[in-house]
Amino acid sequence: MPKMSAPITVCAKLLLCQIKQPWKQLRKLSLSGNPSVKEILSQPELRGQKISAKGWVKAVRAMKEGKFVDLGDGSSQQILQVVVTPCCDKRDITFGSCLEVTGLLEQSKGQGQAVELVAESISLVGPCDVSGDYPFKPRKRYSADYSRQHLHLRQRTNSFAALLRMRNVATQEIHRFYQSLGFIQVHTPVLTSNDCEGAGEVFHIMPGIQASGPRKNTPDTTDNSTPLMFFDTPAYLTVSGQLHLEAVASGMSKVYAFNTAFRAENCQSRRHMSEFYMVEAELAFLSSLDDLMQNVEDLVKTTVKRMLETCESDLTLFFQHLSPKGHKEQVQKMLSSEFKRMTYTDAIGILRGQPGLKSKAEWGDDLSNEQEQCLVKQAGGLPVFVTDWPASAKPFYMRPNPDGKTVACFDLLVPDVGELCGGSLREDDLDRLEAKVAKLGQADALSWYVDLRRYGATPTGGYGLGFERHLQWILGINNIKDTIPFPRWTHHCRM
């Protein structure tokens, strides 16, 4: 139909044009209409042009040559030097204020920068009263503990802005990794009626109102002592998307999720938060734990390599000033080495041979952080997969090994942080699974999960990797709460 084809052709042409000249098109489409500081500093064709730039004042310098402002907008670590000509000088141009500057982008007369923006007009978009409570001062480095007390302004510091850019790149690279292997991304629910890990660390959903309409399976609604319920079953914030992901894998083969997980752990450690992001993958037709571990190792190495390539200056800031000495070399060693693998039983044997550990290694117990770090040290400071854990120490969904005592699973332990990733082959025997969920008193709640083994079951395996722990380890960050913009932990959910 000719009438229909015309607009489609126009759209196709526009799309082609965007693909050929993405930056120009994006600039036209950008909300501010201005190039970012990153674009200004990296686009040679802008030199000699009249441009406008927006950003926050990182420093003001009054020199005998004139007044200079360092303008940053978060797009990169670099700042744009603005020459404040007398005609557009204003008293309110203070550290922290937000400006729009229009002028000529010229080759810089000073040292330290290739170009500078010679202001023709400066408009004060948002003043910043530095004489008040503004918590940061120019050219000062703040401790992570201090910056964390000002979460709403923390992204104004160089180090946290760098962290956010790297977090962004790591997120993209994780998606790229799975997409390149043909995995399908799945959005698993945040609201759920199961506690996948069975550890009782769930946040319960308490609605503000009673749901209207008829209710099923719940006590008498006329009884005022009945707690408010919205769903017909108790509901929680998810601790892991695994069970739902398994359901989708049982029709889509290779799937992954990159979603929030919530844990009500009453824990103040520097490795735990109540809300964090988990990268989870689930593979149907998988019966080799070794293949699963290889996939995790590839994920870690591929994303870190890409971060090294794309976030050079932000990583340098961390490696030179924020992470422990020698951290960069440790990361490089990790990339060129194979991750170690050992069974849990061997790990207990190694730990028993180590004098001076505070906790005694007992077969059947979980590993303490000290024990985890001892194993990593024994492995030359490299990540270690500890496999085949006692069934009693792990959740119901793991597949038993032929020895009848252990399950086909792994924990990946990494330097400083400890457990980065946990995975397993999934219980695929219908009778055994039915018996396990019945023993947990979950026969009704998990009947849908058991159905997955009833109808067209395949051997399946999967894992979950803590995204913030990944960043914490790679960037050498002491406290996990400094890897996410708004950390939540015990007693801390104020904004």
Which residue ranges make up the site for ligand 4AD (CB under 6 A)?
196-197, 240, 242, 263, 265, 272-273, 276, 278, 280, 419-423, 462-464, 466, 468-469
Rounded least distance, CB 291 to ligand 4AD, Å = 15
Q: Which is nearer to ligand 4AD, 97 or 194 (CB)?
A: 194
Backbone angles phi, psi at 206, to 5 degrees: -115, 105
User: Which C-beta is closer to ligand 4AD: that of 40 or that of 417?
Assistant: 417
Least distance from C-beta 215 to ligand 4AD, angstroms?
A: 30
What minimum distance in Å lies between the beta carbon of 250 and ligand 4AD? 14
Close Cβ partners of 203 (under 8 Å, ≥ 6 residues apart): 236, 237, 262, 264, 274
In one-letter notation, the amino acid at residue 458 is T
How many Cα atoms occupy the beta-carbon half-sphere of 279 within 13 Å? 24
* Nearest-angstrom CA–CA distance, 151 and 134: 13
Which is nearer to ligand 4AD, 79 or 245 (by Cβ)? 245
With CA atoms as reference, report the closest residue to 292 among 410, 443, 115, 159.
Answer: 410
Q: Give 398's DSSP letter.
A: B
CB closer to ligand 4AD, 265 vs 434: 265
Residue 145 CB, nearest approach to ligand 4AD (Å): 19
Sign of CA dihedral 102, 106, 110, 111: positive
Nearer to ligand 4AD, 70 or 173 (CB): 173
104: buried, middle or exposed (CB in 10 Å: 19+, 13-18, 0-12)?
middle
Q: Is the CB of 124 or the CB of 450 nearer to ligand 4AD? A: 450
Least distance in angstroms from the C-beta of 244 to ligand 4AD: 10
Determine the 3-state secondary structure of 448 from DSSP: helix
Quote the CA–CA distance of 82 and 67 in Å, as a whole number: 9
Q: How far is the CB of 307 from ligand 4AD (least distance, A)?
A: 18
Give the single-character DSSP code of 222.
T
**Nearest-approach distance from CB 469 to ligand 4AD, in angstroms:** 4
Q: Which is nearer to ligand 4AD, 183 or 276 (CB)?
A: 276
Of 113, 24, 98, 96, nearest to 54 by C-alpha is 98
